[in-house]
Structure 1
Amino acid sequence: MRTFNILFAPLLVLGASLAPLAAQATPPAQLKTQAPGYQRLAVGDYEVTALFDGYNDLGPTLLKGLSQKEIHALLARKNITGAGVQTAFNAFLINTGKNLVLVDTGAGHCIGATAGGLPAAIRAAGYSPEQVDTILLTHMHLDHVCGLVDDKGAAVFANAVVYAAQAEADFWLSKSNLEKAPEEAKGYFKIAQNSTAPYVTAGRLKTFGLGEAPLAGVSTVNLAGHTPGSTGYQFTSNGQSILFMGDIIHSFAVQFAHPEVSIGFDNDSSKAIAARKKLFTQVAHDNIWVAAAHLPFPAIGHIRVEGKGFAWVPVEYGPYQRAANVPLLK
């Protein structure tokens, strides 16, 4: 025991002398920034990248169809409290090997400091806005089209052709609809028209009719109701599919369990509700990947039937794809 004490006594003394120094050390300043907003998923041979443009806080009173007491109870079950509910603005980049396709463009400069991060997210994900050759708009609300241009009105995507449903373009890009709109709604028409203007001028805004495909390998789904031409886009590769469903849902805490709940932004709430129920039923049956503009980032997952409603099964973060020849654990 004496030998032990002689050998280790100097170390004990050294440790005791260092202890005050360690206690006095201070960590570096807090960074208070988030990681770049992107996450990748392999769907067949396609690479899908979810992109975070930003967020806005929406009031629960925008949700219609249940009492506010019931809505707040549903929000509380997801630990969502307060006057404003954080609502993400998501866009999605699909590299098919032939095209680099962007679904929606976020809120850009139209919301303020909490949005407009899409170009930076694209770059962080290893691409650039100039490389995007195709843009598919689910609809023309400001949080989907304003990212087409910068705050000076110049095109952000210099080489992209923009596609939208004919019914959507007819509604939002009509000067007569702008003139007839209530004063509080005129701004939404102006944003849609100003955001698409440089693409219209360059001949790079294209429209398609019901059932038409804007791009080979992409099928469209009519989701009219939220807006007159709301559209979903389904990409299929090597036996796997993912459906980008735009604004079919705004509140995951409420509208999955109660798809009959609408939101104040709906142009025709009864049609929007019918479209949501029909789509949720179909994708739950088919068990395909879905992605949405306003679900919590990365907003990719599956929908399953639960009781009289539905439930959201979000994608897990992990490797881009499983390595070859690695067996699944059983």
Structure 2
Amino acid sequence: MASEAIQQVAGCCHRQVGDILVTALNDGHQDAPLTSMAGIATEEAAALLQAAFRPVPRRTAVNGFLIRSGGRTALVDAGCGPIKPTTGRLAANLAAAGVAAEAIDTVLMTHLHPDHFGGLTGPGGAPLFPAATLRLHEAEQAHWQDDAAMEREDPARRAAFFGGARARLAAYADRTSPFTSGEVFPGVTAIPLPGHTPGHTGFMVASGGKSLLIWGDIVHVPEVQVPRPEATMAVDVDPAQAAATRRRIFDQVATDRQAIAGMHLHFPAFAHLARDGAGYRLVPDAWSIALEGDI
């Protein structure tokens, strides 16, 4: 009798963007109560999730992305790390993609929240990517080093968010290279997307007339925030700016038919955004054996 499957196959999916190979790496998922959202009634958020056949409370995917370009290798975000049974898969999926942690020369951070920086270090605090330069927006680095901003938070968030971010920055202190804009890796341009955090950043991957926008945390709960872009997250540093940035990027990617990828889109996290009346509709890319996307 054949043995029964006890887990999914490797959570990695490749997308060719011109001469650049982008690989989505799943880290798992996190469940959170609907009270972690704002700007929308919990009853409406629950109804939107139920209509999409999604669990209530909300379930949020966590992804990172590998970029191989010009003979170099970058990782965009490092996932949660093994903070709970449902996370910490990124390292195994990186290995399944055939890439050793030591081969990564650059780590690009969309921002410094625990579900993005958790996988940067091991249990003892040592860097898990020993050859990598850490790159992030200078406003992001400044925010998490700001004592006044830290004091405005409750004690739990001071420890988990500020303490955690500072520990990771310290681990990579001798190899941190902040940016404000421009090319940050061969074929990859930083796109400032402030609001969720002051230095929240997307990365436009472009080569050979093709492009892919890795938009970071523009949405956390696609079933809710795509039809209701005014819905914000309790962890948004500036909720009004986060919502305004989301509306601006929605308009841009829908108008340009821009391929997108997101840390909290359902794996494999490649998609497009289409206009739907006065709003928008997320269209996940169909899986294909070919590495090139259809658009």
TM-score (norm 1): 0.84
Paired position in structure 2 for 1:265: 235
Is 1:118 aligned to residue 90 of structure 2? yes
Separation (CA, whole Å) in 2 of partners of 1:122 and 1:196 = 22
Aligned CA distance change for structure 1 residues 189 and 69 (closer, same or farther; 3 Å) = same
Separation (CA, whole Å) in 1 of partners of 2:281 and 2:72 = 33
Separation (CA, whole Å) in 2 of partners of 1:279 and 1:179 = 31
Contact map agreement 2:70 2:186 (CA 8 A) in 1: no
Contact map agreement 1:228 1:267 (CA 8 A) in 2: yes
Aligned CA distance change for structure 1 residues 176 and 255 (closer, same or farther; 3 Å) = closer
Paired position in structure 1 for 2:114: 142
| AA of the residue aligned to 2:32 | L
Q: CA deviation at 1:241?
A: 0.6
Separation (CA, whole Å) in 1 of partners of 2:177 and 2:162 = 18
- Output one character per residue of 1:289-323: Cα deviation in whole Å (capped at 9) or x when no partner: 1111111111111111112211111122222336x
Separation (CA, whole Å) in 2 of partners of 1:281 and 1:220 = 19
Moved more, 50-59 or 216-225: 216-225
| AA of the residue aligned to 2:126 | A
1:11-160 equivalence runs, <5 A: 27-82=1-56, 84-109=57-82, 111-160=83-132
Separation (CA, whole Å) in 2 of partners of 1:224 and 1:207 = 16
Separation (CA, whole Å) in 2 of partners of 1:60 and 1:86 = 10
Contact map agreement 1:44 1:238 (CA 8 A) in 2: yes
Is 1:190 aligned to residue 153 of structure 2? no
Given candidates 264, 279, 285, the residue that maps to 2:255 is: 285
- The 3-state SS of whatever aligns with 2:224 is helix
Is 1:315 aligned to residue 285 of structure 2? yes
Contact map agreement 2:24 2:63 (CA 8 A) in 1: yes
Q: CA deviation at 1:193?
A: 1.1
| AA of the residue aligned to 1:192 | A
| AA of the residue aligned to 2:86 | T
Q: CA deviation at 1:215?
A: 2.7
Higher RCO, Cα 8 Å, sep 6+: 2
- The 3-state SS of whatever aligns with 1:207 is coil
Q: CA deviation at 1:177?
A: 4.1
Contact map agreement 2:77 2:109 (CA 8 A) in 1: yes
Separation (CA, whole Å) in 2 of partners of 1:181 and 1:87 = 24
Q: CA deviation at 1:178?
A: 3.7
Q: CA deviation at 1:176?
A: 5.3
Paired position in structure 1 for 2:201: 231
Contact map agreement 1:145 1:196 (CA 8 A) in 2: no
Separation (CA, whole Å) in 2 of partners of 1:196 and 1:89 = 21
Show structure 2 runs of 5+ residues with no match. none
Q: CA deviation at 1:76?
A: 1.1
Q: CA deviation at 1:212?
A: 3.5
TM-score (norm 2): 0.94
Paired position in structure 2 for 1:14: none
Is 1:248 aligned to residue 221 of structure 2? no
Aligned length: 292
Moved more, 94-103 or 37-46: 94-103
Show structure 1 runs of 5+ residues with no match. 1-26, 323-327
Q: CA deviation at 1:180?
A: 5.4
Q: State percent identity of aligned pairs.
A: 36
Separation (CA, whole Å) in 2 of partners of 1:182 and 1:71 = 26
Separation (CA, whole Å) in 2 of partners of 1:38 and 1:320 = 14
| AA of the residue aligned to 1:240 | K
Separation (CA, whole Å) in 1 of partners of 2:149 and 2:59 = 31
Paired position in structure 2 for 1:169: 141
Contact map agreement 2:193 2:202 (CA 8 A) in 1: yes
| AA of the residue aligned to 1:172 | W
Contact map agreement 2:61 2:265 (CA 8 A) in 1: yes
